[in-house]
Amino acid sequence: MTEFRDEELLADAICRLIGDVRHIAVGAQSPIPATAALLARERANLNDSASRPYVSLLGSRDHTFFTDGARELFDCAGQGRVDVFFLSGGQIDGQGNINLVTVGEYTHPKARFPGSFGSAYLYYVVPKVILFRTEHSRRTLVPKVDFVSAPGGSPGNVSRSGGPVALITNRCLFDFDRSRARFRLASVHPGHSVDEVIENTGFDFDRPAEVPATPAPSAETLHLMRSAVAPMLAEVYPEFARRVFGAAAAVPSS
């Protein structure tokens, strides 16, 4: 089996979650989701698919559908023209709530995060929100977030077309059941175990009797990521591209 890096495994798993969509948007500081989004587009190009997705990377000049940055992202999302987005948080709990504001009491915080930006709005209107967190620990995956920046679920009388579909971490992949506002362990990444996931997760979750392993990326997928995706990714994330793929920063298009 071809060797792969953890980032390549996560990007491949996220790409499968994306599925067949029209428009994938990726926010700032999200190199792994950006890799997955570009991989989804390149796979469609390779297969000559009629349903090639648009990919919008905030901060990119070459790979974006937007002409007005985050403001246009919000407009497009509100109009139903963004199908997939990615969110993370300093804390994520078992109901899919995320915290991007503070740890501890709000008036006497132990830590402060940059803030919610548009997370609460996008969580409501983007149909497929994929949560990701590269630190899977009881510090980050908690029983209940200290501050709800964006809620994973809503009362039945609230109109909501969007919300979480999955949470992927450096250890495993969870599916999210919106009707129950609860996670289910879908797969465990190679080199990790169910016991390890339980030990390092602060919230309760469902799981099948036999939990499968997350599939390793194929040789073809790795080649596509390394040869086609990495040079494009380097425009926005040059350090990540060099560290993971050894790719030099791409020359901006004229």
Tens of pLDDT along 179-238?
Answer: 999 999 999 999 999 999 999 999 999 999 999 999 999 999 999 999 999 999 999 999
Tens of pLDDT along 20-40?
Answer: 999 999 998 999 999 999 999
Q: Region 108-131: what's the mean pLDDT?
A: 93
Q: Is the pLDDT of residue 250 over 60?
A: no
Instruction: Give the C-alpha separation, 152 to 165, whole Å.
Output: 10
How sure is the predictor about 46, in pLDDT bands with cuts at 50, 70 and 90? confident
What is the model's pLDDT at position 1? 64
Domain with CATH 3.40.1080.10 in the chain: 88-117+132-203
Beta strands in 29-153 (DSSP E): 54-57, 84-87, 91-93, 98-99, 102-104, 109-112, 128-133, 141-142
Count of beta carbons in the 10 Å neighbourhood of residue 254: 3
Backbone phi, then psi, for 188, in 5-degree steps? Answer: -115, 135
| Beta-carbon contacts of residue 30 (< 8 Å; ≥ 6 apart) | 86, 88, 132
The mean pLDDT value of the chain amounts to 93
What is the model's pLDDT at position 71? 87
Cβ atoms of 184 and 205 within 8 Å: the answer is yes
Q: Region 138-151: what's the mean pLDDT?
A: 97
Q: Give CA separation, 163 vs 125, 192, 226, 244, in Å.
A: 7, 28, 31, 30
Q: Region 158-178: what's the mean pLDDT?
A: 96
How sure is the predictor about 248, in pLDDT bands with cuts at 50, 70 and 90? low
What is the model's pLDDT at position 64? 87
How sure is the predictor about 51, in pLDDT bands with cuts at 50, 70 and 90? confident
Backbone phi, then psi, for 252, in 5-degree steps? Answer: -55, 140
The better pLDDT of the pair 22, 253 is held by 22
Second CATH level (architecture) for the domain 88-117+132-203:
3-Layer(aba) Sandwich (3.40)
What is the model's pLDDT at position 252? 47
